Amino acid sequence: MTPAPFTYYRPTSVADAISLLTEHGDEAKLIAGGHSLLPIMKLRFAAPEVLIDLGGIDDLDHIRVEGDEIAIGALARHVDLELSDLLRAEAPLLAHTAGVVGDCQIRHRGTFGGSVAHGDPSADLPASLMALRGTIVVEGPGGRRSIAVDDFYTGFLETALEPDELVVELRVPRVGDAPWGYQKFRRRGIDWAIVGVAYQSEPGAGGIGLVNMGPTTLRASASEAALRSGASHDEVAALAAEGTSPVGDGAGSSEYRRHLARVLLSRALAGRSTT
């Protein structure tokens, strides 16, 4: 299938992108890497009349230290995160996670901002952003605001973004060599996760994010609380699926996904990571 016809704009600044969003309202859709949006446009699940291509904005792909955080531009591609020496040293969970997204082509086109903004609970990077207790910086006509990742996802493919706002930056704390683990269970190396678990240890950051265990990226709150209270890793892992609502589908039943979450968290806590 081919997408329905649309008018195409390629602004060269964030301000121009916001003006176009404001002008066209619900008829408009932002496009970054296009690797989530274009497939659904081809299936005609989405048919925006206006596409606003962020690819012409050239100052939104940075990865740099700002105080005790790392600031990552929304247009940084998965491969930029994967190969960043800075991220590998300061937030290795994120660099590793970017390296297990899809295949090489996906990682060269898909952007961090697009992955976070799309709101797909099957996506890998939002779970690691959650484990790191990151923030999402968005900009609209009223200026910039920061949204904690816990407040960003409001439902399946739904976020706290206003229609005239875009994601401009993602921020994570510098955690250095604090222990972490990322486990992604999939049938083939290039597949989406059936379930995934991201773990980043304390101090400072510290958290556990779950992939595909409900309608949004989820925090494993019961496991985090157990970890803080000094429970053993076995006890922490046993709580991984508490409060989740995974769907059952051709890849596995909801009970199978709960089982996977427990096993994968156990492995992630041991510092093991999907290659």
Ligand X SMILES: Cc1cc2nc3c(=O)[nH]c(=O)nc-3n(C[C@H](O)[C@H](O)[C@H](O)COP(=O)(O)OP(=O)(O)OC[C@H]3O[C@@H](n4cnc5c(N)ncnc54)[C@H](O)[C@@H]3O)c2cc1C
Contacts with ligand X, residue ranges (CB under 6 A): 29-37, 39, 54, 74, 101-102, 106, 110-111, 113-115, 117-118, 123-125, 161, 166-167, 192
Closest approach of ligand X to the CB of residue 43, in Å: 12
Reply yes or no: is the peptide bond before residue 203 cis, omega within 30 of 0.
yes
Task: Give whichever of 86 and 147 is closer to ligand X, judged by the CB atom.
Answer: 147
Task: Give whichever of 48 and 236 is closer to ligand X, judged by the CB atom.
Answer: 48
Closest approach of ligand X to the CB of residue 21, in Å: 9
Q: Which helix (H) or strand (E) holds 261?
A: helix 254-269
Task: Give whichever of 164 and 224 is closer to ligand X, judged by the CB atom.
Answer: 164
Residue 246 CA to residue 33 CA, distance in Å, equals 28
Closest approach of ligand X to the CB of residue 221, in Å: 22
Residue 194 CA to residue 196 CA, distance in Å, equals 7
Provide the residue type at 193 as one letter: A
Residue 26 CA to residue 164 CA, distance in Å, equals 9
Q: Which residues does 206 contact at the CB level (< 8 Å), separation at least 6? A: 133, 200, 224, 227
Strand partners, 146: 137
Closest approach of ligand X to the CB of residue 29, in Å: 5
Closest approach of ligand X to the CB of residue 106, in Å: 5
223 neighbors 206 (Cβ within 8 angstroms): no
Q: Which residues does 86 contact at the CB level (< 8 Å), separation at least 6? A: 63, 64, 65, 70
Task: Give whichever of 111 and 216 is closer to ligand X, judged by the CB atom.
Answer: 111
Closest approach of ligand X to the CB of residue 102, in Å: 3
Closest approach of ligand X to the CB of residue 166, in Å: 4
84 neighbors 112 (Cβ within 8 angstroms): no
Q: What angle do CA 216, 153, 201 make, to 5 degrees?
A: 80
Task: Give whichever of 212 and 239 is closer to ligand X, judged by the CB atom.
Answer: 212
Task: Give whichever of 118 and 171 is closer to ligand X, judged by the CB atom.
Answer: 118
Task: Give whichever of 24 and 174 is closer to ligand X, judged by the CB atom.
Answer: 24
Q: Phi and psi for 86 in degrees, rounded to 5? A: -65, -50
